[in-house]
Amino acid sequence: MTTIPSANLHDSYFRDWISEPGVLADYLRHYLPQHIVALIDPSTANIEHGSFVDDELRQQLTDVLCTVKLRSGSDVFIYCLIEHKSYPDSMVAFQLLRYMVHIWQRQMQKGATKLTPIIPMVLYHGEKQWNIPTQFAILFGDLGQQVGFIPQFNYYLTDLSQMPDEQIHGQIITRVGLLGMKYSRNPHANKILVRVMALLSGIGDRKLAQGQLIRLLKYVTSIGNNWERSDVQTAIAAAETDPNLQEVIMSNFAKELIERGMEIGEQRGLQIGEQRGLQIGEQRGLKIGEQRGLQIGEQRGIQATIARLIERKLGPLQASERERIAQLSEASQLSLADALIDGLMTTYTDLVKRLTLLN
Domain assignment present for 195: no
* 115 in a structural domain: yes
Q: How big is the CA angle at 165 (ends 161 and 170), to the nearest 5 degrees?
A: 110
Question: Which of 170, 204, 230 is where one domain is finished?
Answer: 170
Sign of CA dihedral 140, 57, 304, 99: negative
Residue where a domain stops, chosen among 113, 147, 170: 170
Residue 88 lies in a domain: yes
- Contact between residue 68 and residue 41 where contact means Cβ atoms under 8 Å apart: yes
Q: What is the pLDDT of residue 283?
A: 59
Residue 128 maps to a domain? yes
Query: What secondary structure does DSSP assign to 84-98, as a single string?
Result: -SSS--TTHHHHHHH
Is the model's pLDDT at 24 over the cut of 90?
yes
> Is 217 a domain residue?
no
pLDDT digits (tens, 9 = 90+) for 214-246: 899 988 888 876 788 888 889 899 998 888 888
Predicted confidence band of residue 264 (pLDDT cuts 50, 70, 90):
very low
Pairing mode, if any, of strands 75-83 and 118-124?
Answer: parallel
- Report whether 336 contacts 302 (CB < 8 A): no
Q: Pick from 129, 152, 170: which residue ends a domain? A: 170
Q: Does residue 339 form part of some domain?
A: yes
Q: pLDDT tens across 55-87, in order?
A: 777 778 889 999 999 999 999 999 999 988 888
- Could you tell me if 160 and 291 lie in one domain? no
Q: Which pLDDT belongs to residue 103?
A: 95
* Mean pLDDT rounded to a whole number for the chain: 84
Give the rounded percent of residues in the chain with a pLDDT score beyond 70: 84
d(CA 229, CA 281): 35
Count of the separate structural domains present in the chain = 2
Order of strands, sheet of 118-124, starting from the edge strand that comes earlier in the sequence: 40-48, 61-70, 75-83, 118-124, 156-159
Specify which residues 70 forms β-bridges with: 40
84 lies in which domain range? 23-170
**225 part of a folded domain:** no
Q: What is the pLDDT of residue 268?
A: 47
Record the pTM.
Answer: 0.68
Considering the domain boundaries, does residue 175 fall inside one? no
> pLDDT band at 247, cuts 50/70/90?
confident
